[in-house]
Amino acid sequence: MSKPIKQMIVKEYRKKFSGIEGAVLVEIRGLDALATNKMRNDFARKSVKVAVVKNALAREAFKGGALEQLGAHLSGPSALVYSQDSVVDLARDLVKWARTVEKFVFKAAILEGVVYEGKAGVTQLSKMPTREEAQSNVVTLVLSPGRNLLGAVKGPGGRVMGIVKEIESRLEKGETISAVTA
């Protein structure tokens, strides 16, 4: 392949993968055409893309970007699976999908500059909370002391209100009040 063609491919990779903060690098060698097409179609419905890459050219294209550290894992037939959405959701979908295919190999994944190597790393990544899940956990933690305080404040007031209602109902019935227990 001539140098100008290689430069065009590197330029195209940079354009294609710009803005991608996380991805999963896989090997799909050994998968038949039906399995590969099924994988691509299943993931296309979720706006996930699968791109088979030339290793040396991809390494060059990744330099200085968010995917640079994946360069060390580019050997043999490689495909980059990526999405504009959460890479954690992507890893979850890939781990689930890989259970149905024997020859599917996880090379690495990257999220915010952290590389997760091999199947164990991608599985670990798939068990992490997504950004939205983490934010909701933080909000719950922030709000829980306020809820506890509100419950503590409301509790005694509720008991006093119950006693007042009991006194009121007994007085309406014409009963005498010696002691009220709620």
Span 1-42, pLDDT tens digits: 788 888 988 888 888 888 888 888 888 777 778 878 888 888
The pairs formed by 34-39 with CB atoms below 8 angstroms and a separation of 24 or more are: 35/101, 39/97, 39/101
What's the rounded mean pLDDT across residues 111-134? 79
**What range does the domain containing 41 cover?**
3-133
pLDDT of residue 47: 82
| Pair 10, 98 in one domain | yes
Look up the pTM and report it.
0.66
Q: Are residues 94 and 159 in the same domain?
A: no
The tens digit of pLDDT for each residue in 84-122 reads 778 888 888 888 888 877 777 888 888 888 888 888 888
Write out pLDDT tens, residues 42-55. Answer: 888 878 888 888 88
- DSSP string over 19-86: T--EEEEEE-TT--HHHHHHHHHHHHTTTEEEEEE-HHHHHHHHTTSTTGGGGGG--SSEEEEEESS-
In terms of domains, do 9 and 34 share one?
A: yes
Same domain, 93 and 172: no
Q: How would you list the strands of the sheet with 105-111, edge to edge?
A: 48-53, 78-83, 22-27, 105-111, 114-117
The closest alpha carbon to 88, from 122, 117, 42, 45, belongs to 122
Weakest mean pLDDT among 19-33, 59-73, 125-139: 125-139
Q: Are residues 128 and 175 in the same domain?
A: no
Q: Give the pLDDT of residue 180.
A: 53
